[in-house]
Structure 1
């Protein structure tokens, strides 16, 4: 048979107070350990769900920020590519200017090749300006669309520009580099090469005193250079007289005894001993697009126009980049505001909770002491009754 123990009112009150203090201490301890005043919906439904809503919104912003951050890097890659292309355009302008100032058709052909190489580099930079597979310098089909929220209407589209084809976008076309033709003959009577200072007439199988050697352009017969062989005409002076670099003819004589005539345009050579190497000789060549120095004027204007176009593109990307960075900064700050709001809504005041816990611990001690006193009083009564 179960025994029922009746407690005095004082004991019951003390035990109830002790239980309350223990429960409240547990709550305070949990708040201190989690840093939150509300840890589940049962404690404060309104605050709990408000904080949860703010936290979810901040999480959505963080996901959008990740995507936006990648977009910023894509635009930066394109902007850096444009800066490199702009530097190459500066180099191209210098090449055009030097070609226009040159009085050597062969040098102008070399400059044309350098100009074309720079165009290749520009297109190469455009193709390499990719970030994680996205390249805004490849034109159609490579636009960048970024969302500022989960709502599809809140978005921006950054149009790609095709700089992988500088002819189409910047109006820069490659220059015909042309081809160089060469004719050679060895001045070595008796098998011994003439020295550069020897009379040209010593090569009797090629030249005789009084012979006139002429070089004419094939297309219109224009005389480009000529020399009449005299007794004092040396091999060196012969080569010098036949040279007219601005018109596309260059002659040289080497230590090996070879007289070499190069042409940057198709020419015919007449003169010298009948049946000699230069009697009715033709040199086939294709003039470069800059064979005439005046041809570089239009190209200089084209390069300047290309720079103007490129800088407009650069301004557009720069504006987009600034806008994205500003939006990114705002979203980071706003996300922080949402997180702070959530923490404020359910966050615990650790100083207050610490003070409460200390007070509750003291209260527990007092309640335990009071219960002990009550028990001693009851035992004293029992001793009196038993005595």
Structure 2
């Protein structure tokens, strides 16, 4: 080949044809790959810049997968919180149903202590909401009595000269308490004064201080007792003055003890009143209305037992889910103050609702345990870390408040007993606890919702950035196929022309053959 000699024209046309072939090969490669820069040899700057942008876009693509998992983890936690909220609302509804239910068991008893009560009869309550320590209610009331004759007309003019110097003094004690001194004196012809423990005198009008009747003396005593808050009521019974305590007495103790009787009345009308160390006097059964008042007024029985008058019978309502034991009532529904016992059942509706409440509480914990995604459970206090850039300098840590597990214990919801629903006040307290738990769950839902919004916002941003990076990388290396197609057509035309030119140059070299 080296010995072949080509003319200058042929050689020039051959070189042009070879260049055109090289350009066609390059253009065909660009059309085939779609890139104008296929290696660092084509354009080092564009090639390596494009590779760097593509690498970052690939890193963002991996981060987007992590963000997508984070979104699903938050959605799983939100599913759990939504179900827990509904569960708490069901618990709230259960407690409200218990609060409204008043189907407490009741029994009505006839009160019959017999013709001669001993004064020691009691009615005792235990069990139910009362507890093991019994609360006793006395069934009888004792009366202190002034006894004596000549009570019809007491004469306070002891000197018989209209000096009105007569006095009547004695001491009284309620239920064995501290004695109080009572002093009655004449002020003028139609006025008596009564003092208690030497205090201010209370004046009471009478018809004549020289002939004071038992009824008038009763009025004087009641006025003085009322003015000085002495818990005694005076009354007359067959010419006798009866002093009765306004409160229940202790068994075996006179309601009112009368002592130290002293009088300076006109001799012929001396009252002959006597009290000595205090006599028990008469004992009688308390009325149903009085028993109702004492039972309902007893602090140890308030909101535990309710008494009422049921057409002359003592009606007892057991305001508890537990069985109430009554001592002093016979099996025939008769209150006799004896050693017999009777029972009143508990509220079965509230008891069943307590069981339902506990089942809902257990279900709450199961919902919390099952709210995981890909092994991460935000409701169990797991920490979810999401990276937002390839260098790890932009992150978000998502966790429940204080990293605590969202369960019944941390929400303050303890398992309850049926007895916990005995009291309306206790149910109100439980309702308040459930309400606080609902507020906690709603607050946590709001926090997770805010985190989800941030992740989704960053997810959209990363997608846009990935698209921007890929577009920028492609702009540096991708070929314009329209342009390259036009170039190919131009090169094909040039190749044809170069072939024709080469042929013409060869014909010029052949002109010498015509000489032979």
User: How far apart, in 1, do the equivalents of 2:66 and 2:2 lie?
Assistant: 72
Secondary structure of 2:409's aligned partner:
helix
2:56 and 2:390 in contact (8 A); partners too: no
User: How far apart, in 2, do the equivalents of 1:73 and 1:103 lie?
Assistant: 47
1:138 equivalent in alignment to 2:380: yes
2:17 and 2:495 in contact (8 A); partners too: yes
Two-structure CA RMSD over aligned residues (Å):
1.5
1:310 equivalent in alignment to 2:310: no
With the length of structure 2 as denominator, give the TM-score of the two structures: 0.51
User: How far apart, in 1, do the equivalents of 2:85 and 2:3 lie?
Assistant: 98
Could you tell me which residue of structure 1 aligns to residue 25 of structure 2?
26
Q: Which whole-Å deviations, capped at 9, do the CAs of 1:259-290 have from their partners, x for residues lacking one? A: xxxxxxxxxxxxxxxxxxxxxxxxxxxxx321
Could you tell me which residue of structure 1 aligns to residue 488 of structure 2?
357
Q: Which whole-Å deviations, capped at 9, do the CAs of 1:60-102 have from their partners, x for residues lacking one? A: 1111111121111111111111111111111111111111101
Question: Deviation at 1:3?
Answer: 6.7
Give 1:273-312 correspondences, 5 Å limit: 288-312=419-443
User: How far apart, in 1, do the equivalents of 2:501 and 2:45 lie?
Assistant: 39
Could you tell me which residue of structure 1 aligns to residue 78 of structure 2?
79
1:120 equivalent in alignment to 2:362: yes
1:106 equivalent in alignment to 2:348: yes
Give 1:1-387 correspondences, 5 Å limit: 4-104=3-103, 105-139=347-381, 142-160=382-400, 161-168=403-410, 170-177=411-418, 288-379=419-510, 381-385=511-515, 387=516
User: How far apart, in 2, do the equivalents of 1:157 and 1:55 lie?
Assistant: 28
With the length of structure 1 as denominator, give the TM-score of the two structures: 0.67
Bigger mean CA offset, 366-375 vs 310-319: 366-375
Structure with the largest fraction of strand = 2
User: How far apart, in 1, do the equivalents of 2:434 and 2:78 lie?
Assistant: 20
User: How far apart, in 1, do the equivalents of 2:385 and 2:397 lie?
Assistant: 4
Secondary structure of 1:166's aligned partner:
coil
2:383 and 2:399 in contact (8 A); partners too: yes
Q: Which whole-Å deviations, capped at 9, do the CAs of 1:172-192 have from their partners, x for residues lacking one? A: 222114xxxxxxxxxxxxxxx
User: How far apart, in 2, do the equivalents of 1:377 and 1:113 lie?
Assistant: 116
Question: Deviation at 1:329?
Answer: 0.8
Question: Deviation at 1:164?
Answer: 4.8
Q: Which whole-Å deviations, capped at 9, do the CAs of 1:172-214 have from their partners, x for residues lacking one? A: 222114xxxxxxxxxxxxxxxxxxxxxxxxxxxxxxxxxxxxx
Q: How many residues align?
A: 271
Could you tell me which residue of structure 2 aligns to residue 224 of structure 1?
none
User: How far apart, in 2, do the equivalents of 1:124 and 1:376 lie?
Assistant: 98
User: How far apart, in 2, do the equivalents of 1:292 and 1:302 lie?
Assistant: 16
Secondary structure of 1:156's aligned partner:
strand
Could you tell me which residue of structure 2 aligns to residue 186 of structure 1?
none
Higher-Rg member (1/2) = 2
User: How far apart, in 1, do the equivalents of 2:354 and 2:18 lie?
Assistant: 96
Secondary structure of 2:39's aligned partner:
coil
In structure 2, the gaps of 5 or more residues are: 104-346
Secondary structure of 2:479's aligned partner:
coil
Structure with the largest fraction of helix = 1
1:32 and 1:354 in contact (8 A); partners too: yes
Could you tell me which residue of structure 1 aligns to residue 195 of structure 2?
none
Secondary structure of 2:420's aligned partner:
coil
User: How far apart, in 2, do the equivalents of 1:350 and 1:328 lie?
Assistant: 33
2:77 and 2:371 in contact (8 A); partners too: yes
1:123 and 1:163 in contact (8 A); partners too: no
1:127 and 1:164 in contact (8 A); partners too: no
User: How far apart, in 2, do the equivalents of 1:111 and 1:377 lie?
Assistant: 117
